[in-house]
Amino acid sequence: MARSPLAIALAACAFQLPALADGNAQRIQLTPAGNFKPWDGRDIPSGHWHIDQAVANAVIARFQARKNPRVLDYEHQTLRKEENGQPAPAAGWITDLQWVDGQGLFGTVELTARARQLIADGEYRYVSPVFSYDRHTGDVLDIQMAAITNNPAIDGMEPLALRAAATFGFHSDEDPSMNKLLLAVCAALALGADTTEDQAIAALNAHAKNDPLAGVRKALGVDDKAAPEAIVTACSALKTKAEQAGNPDPAKFVPITVVEDLKGSVAALTAQINGDKVEQLVTDALEDGRLLKAQENWARDLGKKDIAALTAYLETAQPIAALAGTQTGGRGPAQGKDANGLTPDELAVCNATGIDPKDFAAAKTA
């Protein structure tokens, strides 16, 4: 499936750690200024990454909108823990970001005592940030986390970047990188994630011309843009009026049987249209990483009950290129349930969101 011009992907590069200052708070470089590339020579869609004062201001605003600091771990273990099952202790916490003209983006980090000692002893030399970026322009969008490491630009890190929290809409306080109106049109018409504005407009015009309910709206005298629910309301009002009239004039009123048949047809047509939209929304979200495989049934059930809620949820979910590119859809090796009765996918959600497995299991049972 082709990617959207503004799809999100994860990247990693590395910068040498500075000499330790007094106290636990340290300032570390997360990106240089201008255009830069990964050390391992991997191909990236935009050819390079980019950050300047204007781009940095947006990154800093997104960072400050979050209540929780971003983690600094060891060797990107936070991204690897779903594969190797090992703990992912923090080496510190990124509490603030600053832009330095001519140098790049820096972060203020509160180091743990253990990490400070390891750095002081020379056992760790580099810091490797993980950030999202625009696939076309290369602009840095958001600092996700960072790690102290001795292996800059870790080989194979991207496929391991299972970010369950991103698919649960916990970043709703961040500005979406794609035009909201275009996203809404694509969702409503079940268009692909790579749809351009011109293509969306053409599809919208074609949909308006071929609207199967256009004749019904015209016959009932409702607005050309009225939703199916408004058509049903108009039919009900017409039915009520006919019942109250006693002996309605056939030349002025539609027979009740016709109204009932029309209501049934509208309801069936609405269900069919919504069903097709839900199926397309779920399929696209599974392919581009906005949904985990474990969320598939939940997403379909939500769409059947409230397609607007599903659409709104998927608008805030960040597509994870690394998750979409795995053969297992982001799921780890087949395993049994843990002591709380949770599957590996459910444990992944707990690990990424900080939810206690016992609480998750209790909520699931309820």
Q: What is the DSSP string of 223-292?
A: -TT--HHHHHHHHHHHHHHHHHHSS--TTTS--HHHHHHHHHHHHHHHHHHHHHHHHHHHHHHHHHTSS-
Pick the last residue of a domain from 106, 130, 160.
160
Question: Six-digit token pair at 326?
Answer: 């795995």
Q: Are residues 103 and 210 in the same domain?
A: no
Residue 345's nearest CA partner among 281, 285, 271, 294 is 294
174 lies in some domain: no
Instruction: Give the chain's end-to-end CA distance (angstroms, integer).
Output: 37
* pLDDT band per the 50, 70, 90 thresholds, residue 343: confident
- Determine whether 138 is exposed, middle or buried from the number of CB atoms within 10 Å of its CB (0-12, 13-18, 19+): buried
Structural domain for 240, as ranges: 180-323
Would you say residue 50 lies in a domain? yes
DSSP output for 30-62? EEESEEE--TT----TTSSEEE-HHHHHHHHHH
Residue partners of 342: CB distance under 8 A and separation at least 6: 350, 357, 360, 361, 364
pLDDT the model gives residue 168:
24
Q: Which residue has the higher pLDDT, 271 or 287?
A: 287
pLDDT of residue 165: 26
User: Which of 9-23, 35-49, 204-218, 251-265 bottoms out in mean pLDDT, i.e. has the lowest?
Assistant: 9-23
Question: Residue 107 has what pLDDT?
Answer: 93
User: Which pLDDT tens digit goes with each residue over 97-107?
Assistant: 999 999 999 99
pLDDT of residue 95: 94
The average pLDDT across 315-331 equals 60
Over the stretch 118-161, which tens digit does the pLDDT of each residue have? 988 889 888 888 888 888 888 999 998 998 888 755 333 333 23
Of 253 and 363, which is predicted with more confidence? 363
Q: Contact at 8 Å (CB) between 141 and 8?
A: yes
pLDDT digits (tens, 9 = 90+) for 186-198: 666 667 656 677 7
HSE-up (13 A, CA, CB side) for residue 158: 20
Lowest mean pLDDT among 126-135, 179-188, 265-274: 179-188
- Which residues make Cβ contacts (< 8 Å) with residue 366, sequence separation at least 6? none
Predicted confidence at residue 326, as pLDDT, reads: 47
pLDDT of residue 6: 46
Same domain, 148 and 184: no
Split at pLDDT 50, 70, 90, the class of 252 is low
Under the banding of pLDDT at 50, 70 and 90, the label for residue 174 is: very low
pLDDT per position as a tens digit, 55-87: 999 999 999 998 889 999 998 888 888 888 899
Q: Give the chain's mean pLDDT.
A: 75
Per-residue pLDDT of 222-240, as tens digits, reads 777 777 777 778 778 877 7
User: Are both 145 and 21 inside the same structural domain?
Assistant: yes
In a domain, 110, yes or no: yes
Integer CA distances (angstroms), 279 to 91, 168, 262, 307, in order: 43, 19, 26, 11
Cβ proximity of 163 and 48 under 8 Å: no
7/27 Cα distance (integer angstroms): 30
241 plus 295 within the same structural domain: yes
CA distance 51 to 35: 7
What percent of the chain stands above pLDDT 90?
16
With cut-offs at 50, 70 and 90, classify the pLDDT of residue 109. very high
**Domain count across the chain:** 3
Residues 151 and 242 placed together within one structural domain of the fold? no
Cβ–Cβ < 8 Å for 13, 39: yes
On whether both 37 and 99 belong to a single domain, the answer is yes
Q: What's the pTM?
A: 0.42
The answer to the question of residue 2 being in a domain is no
Give yes or no: residues 81 and 104 share one domain: yes
pLDDT for the residue numbered 164: 26
* Stretch (H or E) spanning 190: none
CA 333 to chain centroid, in Å, comes to: 24
246 class by beta-carbon count within 10 Å (0-12 exposed, 13-18 middle, 19+ buried):
exposed
Residue 204 and residue 145 share a domain: no
194 lies in the same domain as 309: yes
Are 148 and 115 within one domain? yes
Same domain, yes or no, for 340 and 311?
no
In a shared domain, residues 193 and 232? yes
Evaluate whether residue 201 is within a structural domain.
Answer: yes
Tell me which residue of 8, 18, 16 sits closest to 39, measured CA to CA. 16
Give the pLDDT confidence score for residue 169 in this predicted structure.
Answer: 26
Higher pLDDT, 280 or 17: 280
pLDDT of residue 354: 77
